[in-house]
Structure 1
Amino acid sequence: MPDLRLVIFDVDGTLVDSQAEILGAMTHAFGAVGLVTPSRAEVLSIVGLSLPETFAVLCPDLDAATRDELTRQYRASFHDHAVEDLKRRSPLFPGALEALHRLQAQDHTLLAVATGKSKRGLDRLVDQHALQGLFISGQTSDFHPSKPHPSMVLTCLADAEVAPHRAVMVGDTRYDMDMARAAGVATIGVDWGYHAPDTLGADRLINTFAALDAAIDDLIGDPA
Structure 2
Amino acid sequence: MKLVLFDVDGTLVDSQNIIVAAQRMAFAAHNMEPPSRERSLSIVGLSLLEAFTVLAGPQAPVESLTQAYKDAFGTLRHDPAHAEPLFPGALDCLEWLGAREDVILGIATGKSRRGVAHLLDRHDWHTVFSTIQTADDAPSKPHPAMIHQAMAEVGIGPENTVMIGDSSYDMAMGRSAGVLPVGVSWGFQPVTALNEAGAGHIVDSYTELGAVLTGFLGNPSQAANAAPMSLS
Fold match by TM threshold 0.5? yes
Task: State which of 185, 191, 195 in structure 1 corresponds to 2:185.
Answer: 191
Task: State which of 3, 6, 19 in structure 2 corresponds to 1:6.
Answer: 3
1:69 aligned to 2:64?
yes
1:178 aligned to 2:175?
no
Which range moves more in the overlay, 192-201 or 145-154?
192-201
Q: Which residue does 2:38 correspond to in 1?
A: 41
- Counterpart of 1:162, as a letter, is I
Distance 1:8 1:191 in 2: 17
Q: Specify whether residues 159 and 61 from structure 1 end up closer, same or farther in structure 2 by C-alpha distance, changes over 3 A only.
A: closer
Q: Which residue does 2:214 correspond to in 1?
A: 217
Structure 1, residues 115-143: CA drift from partner, whole Å, max 9, x if none? Answer: 00000001111112222211001100012
Q: Which residue does 1:155 correspond to in 2?
A: 149
Percent identity between the aligned chains? 43
1:31 aligned to 2:39?
no
Q: Is the 8 A contact 2:184 2:203 kept in 1?
A: yes
Q: Which residue does 2:225 correspond to in 1?
A: none
Q: Specify whether residues 223 and 119 from structure 1 end up closer, same or farther in structure 2 by C-alpha distance, changes over 3 A only.
A: farther
Q: Is the 8 A contact 1:165 1:220 kept in 2?
A: no
Which runs of no fewer than 5 residues in structure 2 stay unpaired? Answer: 222-232
State the shift of 1:82 in Å. 5.4
State the shift of 1:15 in Å. 0.3
- Counterpart of 1:199, as a letter, is A
Q: Specify whether residues 203 and 26 from structure 1 end up closer, same or farther in structure 2 by C-alpha distance, changes over 3 A only.
A: same
Distance 2:110 2:64 in 1: 18
Q: Specify whether residues 82 and 141 from structure 1 end up closer, same or farther in structure 2 by C-alpha distance, changes over 3 A only.
A: closer
Q: Which residue does 1:146 correspond to in 2?
A: 140
Q: Specify whether residues 111 and 223 from structure 1 end up closer, same or farther in structure 2 by C-alpha distance, changes over 3 A only.
A: farther
Within 5 A, what are the aligned runs for 1:91-130?
91-130=85-124
Q: Is the 8 A contact 1:116 1:146 kept in 2?
A: yes
Q: Is the 8 A contact 1:107 1:223 kept in 2?
A: no
Q: CA RMSD in A?
A: 1.6
Structure 1, residues 26-68: CA drift from partner, whole Å, max 9, x if none? Answer: 01111111111110011111110000100111111534xx111
- Counterpart of 1:6, as a letter, is L
State the shift of 1:222 in Å. 3.6
State the shift of 1:163 in Å. 1.0
Distance 2:220 2:106 in 1: 16
What SS does structure 2 have at the residue aligned with 1:36? coil
Which runs of no fewer than 5 residues in structure 1 stay unpaired? Answer: none
State the shift of 1:216 in Å. 1.6
Q: Is the 8 A contact 1:172 1:192 kept in 2?
A: yes
Structure 1, residues 134-156: CA drift from partner, whole Å, max 9, x if none? Answer: 10011000121100000001111
Q: Specify whether residues 82 and 72 from structure 1 end up closer, same or farther in structure 2 by C-alpha distance, changes over 3 A only.
A: closer
Distance 1:125 1:72 in 2: 20
- Counterpart of 1:13, as a letter, is G
TM-score, normalisation: structure 2: 0.89
Q: Is the 8 A contact 1:217 1:223 kept in 2?
A: no
State the shift of 1:83 in Å. 5.1
Aligned length, in residue pairs: 218
